[in-house]
């Protein structure tokens, strides 16, 4: 089974991805985007540097390059071997951040991303919904998106809501307020009921 966790910065998805992967068993592969291969980790460093100015489409292509490498060299082989894969961010992050917040257009980024991942969409995507003000308060503010403030996070949150409607067959929205344990239980329930 292929599960992705999505949400705005500070939604707690990295913590929840770790807990979910552990709950699915020791064989589960946990990956984070951008990253997961040597080339993708190098691209991650580049994208995380707030001092670099990057054109939005170039930014999308960098995320896409990292993702294409990860899908073909790690995710697809793992799924074919019967391993569960939990992704801390995946294709929907580009639709929300580059398509929505950077205004490249959600449907445009959706179709480009479909080519990048060769149609390998997750079986279930858990969207952790949190108020952008709360999320920004929790985030450490270090990467290029967090440092751009509340309006950016609001735009991302709005795009995620649009994705939840467009892809309602795969996306399950989970309330990310409450304790880590409470949210974990909601995530498990969301995965169980859709799997």
7: helix, coil or strand?
Answer: coil
Which listed residue (84, 89, 129, 186) binds ligand TYD by CB under 6 A? Answer: 89
Alpha helices in the chain (DSSP H): 13-23, 38-48, 56-70, 76-80, 91-94, 106-116, 132-138, 150-166, 180-194
Nearer to ligand TYD, 50 or 189 (CB): 50
Which listed residue (29, 97, 127, 129) binds ligand TYD by CB under 6 A? Answer: 97
| 63 forms part of the interface with ligand TYD (CB under 6 A) | yes
38: helix, coil or strand?
Answer: helix
Q: Of the listed pieces 22-30, 143-151, 159-167, 184-192, which binds ligand TYD according to CB under 6 A?
A: 143-151
Q: Of the listed pieces 23-31, 75-83, 93-101, 176-184, which binds ligand TYD according to CB under 6 A?
A: 93-101
Which listed residue (2, 12, 34, 87) binds ligand TYD by CB under 6 A? Answer: 34
| 143 forms part of the interface with ligand TYD (CB under 6 A) | yes
Nearest alpha-carbon partner for 96 in 4, 194, 14, 186:
4
| 94 forms part of the interface with ligand TYD (CB under 6 A) | yes
Which phi and psi (to 5°) does residue 6 adopt?
-130, 160
The two tokens of residue 141 are 């503010």
CB atoms within 10 A of CB 135: 24
Which residues are near ligand TYD by CB under 6 A?
9, 14, 33-34, 63, 89, 93-94, 97-98, 143, 145-146
């Amino acid at each position: 089974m292929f599960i992705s966790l999505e949400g705005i910065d500070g939604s707690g998805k990295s913590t929840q991805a770790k807990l979910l992967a552990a709950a699915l068993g020791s064989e589960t592969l946990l990956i984070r985007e951008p990253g997961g291969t040597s080339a993708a980790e190098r691209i991650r460093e580049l994208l995380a540097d707030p001092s670099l100015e990057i054109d939005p489409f170039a930014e999308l292509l960098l995320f896409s390059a990292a993702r294409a490498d990860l899908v073909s060299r790690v995710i697809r082989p793992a799924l074919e071997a019967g391993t569960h894969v939990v992704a801390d961010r995946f294709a929907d992050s580009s639709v929300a951040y580059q398509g929505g917040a950077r205004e490249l257009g959600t449907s445009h980024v959706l179709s480009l991303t479909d080519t990048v991942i060769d149609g390998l969409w997750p079986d279930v995507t858990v969207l952790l919904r949190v108020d952008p003000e709360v999320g920004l308060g929790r985030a450490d503010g270090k990467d290029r998106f967090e440092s751009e403030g509340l309006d950016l996070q609001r735009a991302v949150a709005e795009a995620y809501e649009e994705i939840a409607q467009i892809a309602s067959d795969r996306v399950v929205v989970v309330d990310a307020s409450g304790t880590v344990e409470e949210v974990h239980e909601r995530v498990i329930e969301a995965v169980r009921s859709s799997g």
